[in-house]
Chain A
């Protein structure tokens, strides 16, 4: 299987909303101080109560594959050596309404299935601005 994401692939563009998620090295989710709702992706306003004061809530980082695709067509030339690769949606155990996109790094695409148990792992990489990113990825976990 090819490497996904490949070495030269685009990194997330860091902004005020996603910085915690992609740099903390812990799975930090956005929680509303007023109503305690946890929402993903982060937004400037709480989707539940329209509050605008937030704190971080840490997930334990385990979950279940909720859906996936196996991409066979490389949507970009940089992905030519990576196909076929699987991209998954992970439903978190502790915040079931939160679904995170990722790749299961230690599993062949043909073995990925809905219901597979996974745990978060961290991919460390420096972006063009010199900032160190810690990007959440996934590996298979025991049922």
Chain B
């Protein structure tokens, strides 16, 4: 926090359609980690910690053995939901390095879902799920659809506002050769004509499933300044919910919520800046509706202003006031469980994006909306 640590390396495997990877998920993880460490100009043997989120399968003990690390000093991951933990994982790395528990921590995510079960796969529920699963409400899409429907009703949000998120991601993917949707643009007509998954969510409101891995390397600010590329300091990160924000089965005190209001407030307070100071942002798109909710909760506009905020190209590169998901995001680049949005937020500070925003001083990444606790991270120029 407050420039104590920085991201010094960014890497990924090749990104594939679901089931397209010809190697194991573990090998994808190793590839992304090696690429990120090489990008930093560090020897692999300097890595002494790993962080991830949501029951990551590629555990640090196996990784440290496979990569031949001299020591493993730190390993951890976050609880809760799914992609809402992306930024939290970097927050843990920032804390571990700041506290001196590790020197060089890799945050990463690897996915080859065809080799395992699907996230959010339907299953009967005990506990809180007993109040929803019997009625046919099990999946992330259905949960986010019910949140989105109410948000649209309360704030007079048209379907076209959801389309704008999808169109921005697909447009930006057309400039990114890594993107799975590279060379396959999306029109507004195709969006509206695509089939329903769970109303009000069309097919193109929902992120695809992909195979791939992405990673970043975090170390102390002092060490970061001696490495190959300019460091990208972590200015602030935040994770959390307010009172009543975690009540299950749609009974949150602030329903409908993306679960980012408290995390957003903490982020701006810790960073000493506000949403208006940010030049570019990556918003995890599990589904487009909760992205709209997250943008409002992060303070970019009032909820009732969201439709006009996202229209007229305002969130598209190069002319928009707040270009979002500039690599193509979950929808257009690849669904690496949102980690690709971290890599892109770092690249925007470095000046390496394929949709590079000019004069980036602050680059924001907001993790998966609609599931608690929300998390978010803000990178800055050194």
Which residues of A are at the interface with B, using a C-beta cutoff of 8 A? 4-5, 9-15, 18, 21-22, 39-41, 47, 66-73, 75-76, 79, 82, 84-85, 87, 89, 97-103, 114, 135
A5–B136 CB distance below 8 A: yes
- Tell me if B228 counts as interface (CB < 8 A to partner A): no
B249–A101 CB distance below 8 A: yes
A22–B142 CB distance below 8 A: no
Alpha-carbon distance between A13 and B131 when the two chains are bound, in angstroms: 10
Q: Contacts A41-B251, A79-B136, A114-B149; is A101 near B197 (CB within 8 Å)?
A: no
- Count of A-B contacts judged by CB separation below 8 Å: 122
A71–B149 CB distance below 8 A: no
A40–B251 CB distance below 8 A: yes
B133 CB to nearest A CB, Å: 6
What does DSSP make chain A's interface, helix, strand, loop or mixed? loop
Alpha-carbon distance between A79 and B244 when the two chains are bound, in angstroms: 32
Q: Which residues of A contact B247 (CB under 8 A)?
A: 39, 41, 47
Q: Which residues of B contact A5 (CB under 8 A)?
A: 134-136
Q: List B residues 79-123 near A (Cβ within 8 Å).
A: 121-123
Alpha-carbon distance between A76 and B138 when the two chains are bound, in angstroms: 9
B138 CB to nearest A CB, Å: 5
B138–A69 CB distance below 8 A: no
The digit string for B246-259, where 1 denotes a CB below 8 A from any CB of A, is: 01111101011000
Q: Which residues of B contact A21 (CB under 8 A)?
A: 131
- Tell me if B273 counts as interface (CB < 8 A to partner A): no
Alpha-carbon distance between A34 and B127 when the two chains are bound, in angstroms: 24
Alpha-carbon distance between A85 and B139 when the two chains are bound, in angstroms: 14
* Besides A41-B131, A70-B196, A73-B141, 19 other A-B contacts (C-beta < 8 A): A4-B136, A5-B136, A69-B146, A69-B201, A70-B198, A70-B199, A72-B196, A73-B196, A79-B136, A87-B137, A97-B251, A97-B253, A98-B251, A99-B251, A101-B131, A101-B250, A102-B135, A103-B136, A114-B153
B80 CB to nearest A CB, Å: 17
Q: Which residues of A contact B125 (CB under 8 A)?
A: 10, 12-13
Q: Contacts A75-B142, A99-B250; is A12 near B134 (CB within 8 Å)?
A: yes
B246 CB to nearest A CB, Å: 10
B139 CB to nearest A CB, Å: 4
Q: Which residues of B contact A14 (CB under 8 A)?
A: 130
The digit string for B180-205, where 1 denotes a CB below 8 A from any CB of A, is: 00000000000000011111110000
A15–B127 CB distance below 8 A: yes
